[in-house]
Amino acid sequence: MSQFDLTDDQREIQDLARKFTADRITPFAAKWDEEHHYPVDVWKAAGELGFGAIYVAEQSGGIGLGRLEAALIMEAMAYGCPATSAYISIHNMATWMIDRFGGQAIKDRFLPDLVGMEKIASYCLTEPGSGSDAAALKTSAKLDGDHYVLNGTKQFISGAGYNDIYVCMVRTSEEKSKGISCLVIEKGTPGLSFGAPERKLGWNASPTAQVIFQDCRVPVENRVGAEGDGFRFAMAGLDGGRLNIGACSLGGAQRCLDESVKYTKERQQFGTAVADFQNTQFMLADMATDLEAARALLYLAAAKVTANAPDKSRFSAMAKRLATDNGSSIVDRALQLHGGYGYLMDYPIERFWRDLRVHSILEGTNQVMRMIIGRDLTRQ
């Protein structure tokens, strides 16, 4: 077996995710997008397959896989709906954070429901005034006896108002990055409320809203790890999150490439199939090449993150940047190949065009990815 091949186990995981997507996601994704439907029943079905705890340890109830296996699952699911696949990534990040950094008591309280997706988690880092500069977050958590009292607002939170659990980064002291702690907050906690759903370009199958704290009392026992360690946890989760969102772009781009090959072979102009024109073949060739280049880099980066390689963060940033930029470009070219039909909601291309656009912003903008790569190169 070549070192560049997937193992038999990895192919089985990929096939399982592809079958689940074909049965439970692809036929319904357009309707979810049009109706802004949040498919919670699909989350629970995915949880039964272990997809809610992909890299959570087996002793905690997860399936204990690596980051490449996670990328394969995200890529396969994004073939049907990038918004759905990306939400699986968010839930996995929140669940993994509790498992990786939490004490046994907090694991025992929250993980049994999260690993099977009986309860669904949101991850809360971004605020109205702190996006790329995550360490500038202001949501305060003041210690009052055996509780923290929270005040502040989280912005752009997927699943806000719908989900059961919110893994939040909050400020417990004035030290910038060392003053941030991680708390797990349950829906229904007094003082926790949510903003109106945001009106977005895409990702309509995944609601987004503010998470608002007004004198919200959260038990100290809900803290993950030690006070002041939250920013370190958040940064540790970003490598995997970047790989996952890059994988979602790969899956969406693959779907649009496949749709373009099919459409151009069927579509006739000037008495011949559009696929027979050299210009069409050149466009398809470039789309396929850009996709495979991004996929190869992302799989390599995933292997490095699993192995905890010293250059894992640089490779994750490179893979995220390339996969999300290439993914959007491939979908844009697919829309062009479909002509006016690509602009219609009767075809899936415009939905992927809208959904993939945000991937170059999420998990660190692609401009920040370049900063990470450049700083790492010049630090050597």
Active-site positions read 363
Please give the Cα distance from 255 to 349 (Å, whole number): 9
- Amino acid letter, 145: G
Please give the Cα distance from 325 to 9 (Å, whole number): 30
Sign of the CA dihedral with 80 first, then 86, 91, and 97 last:
positive
Among 52, 62, 94, 90, CA closest to 185:
94
Contact 245, 82 (CB under 8 A): no
Q: How far apart are the first and last CA of the chain?
A: 34
273 - beta bridge partners? 268
Tokens 């950094």, residue located: 101
The backbone torsions φ and ψ at residue 13, rounded to the nearest 5 degrees and listed phi first, read -65, -45
Q: Which residues lie below 8 Å from residue 276, measured CB to CB, with a gap of 6+?
A: none
158 - beta bridge partners? 208
Tokens (6 digits) for 229 = 């360690």
Please give the Cα distance from 326 to 308 (Å, whole number): 26
The DSSP secondary structure of 221-267, one letter per residue, reads GGEESSTT-HHHHHHHHHHHHHHHHHHHHHHHHHHHHHHHHHHHHH-
Alpha helix ranges (H) inside the chain? 8-24, 29-35, 40-48, 67-78, 82-101, 104-115, 230-266, 278-306, 312-338, 349-357, 366-379
